Structure 1
């Protein structure tokens, strides 16, 4: 599903411009349910449009989402492409 050579890290750490793939979720059922409602599920590809230290602005397909840093920290990703980082 994802290259094993790429480490997993929390979405909140990925820099602006990076393309990542969600590989897992940490946290409880409430967090997992909220993330699923937003379309942030394992296998989804996400582009970080802005990660300036506050909430993250993400692109998932044609959808733009604002996700708080606490929730973003529970999303585990691997890099597909690193832009500017």
Structure 2
């Protein structure tokens, strides 16, 4: 499977985080929110506006620009 930006994963699909592209501040923020390498996530909503992502029991809204920097492998 190939590695693609999180923004391209469809609603209801699961993916595994492979890497976070961005500066130290952005990477630290994502890690603090639970977006660690190897973590499995599920897309709750990817229609218009921000993406809603399930990370464990949490639901997190991410802007499109942020979602472009998080590289995942679709499950």
Counterpart among 40, 44, 48 of residue 45 in structure 1: 40
- Matches of 1:69 and 1:38 in 2, distance apart? 16
In the alignment, what sits opposite 1:60?
55
Structure 1 stretches of 4+ with a deviation exceeding 4 A read: none
In the alignment, what sits opposite 1:30?
25
| DSSP 3-state at the match of 2:7 | helix
Displacement of 1:43 = 0.6
| Max Rg structure | 1
TM-score (norm 2): 0.94
Counterpart among 60, 70, 73 of residue 75 in structure 1: 70
The count of aligned residue pairs is 75
Unaligned runs of 5+ in 2: none
TM-score (norm 1): 0.84
Q: Report the structure, 1 or 2, having the larger helix content.
A: 2
In the alignment, what sits opposite 2:14?
19
Displacement of 1:54 = 1.6
Displacement of 1:61 = 1.0
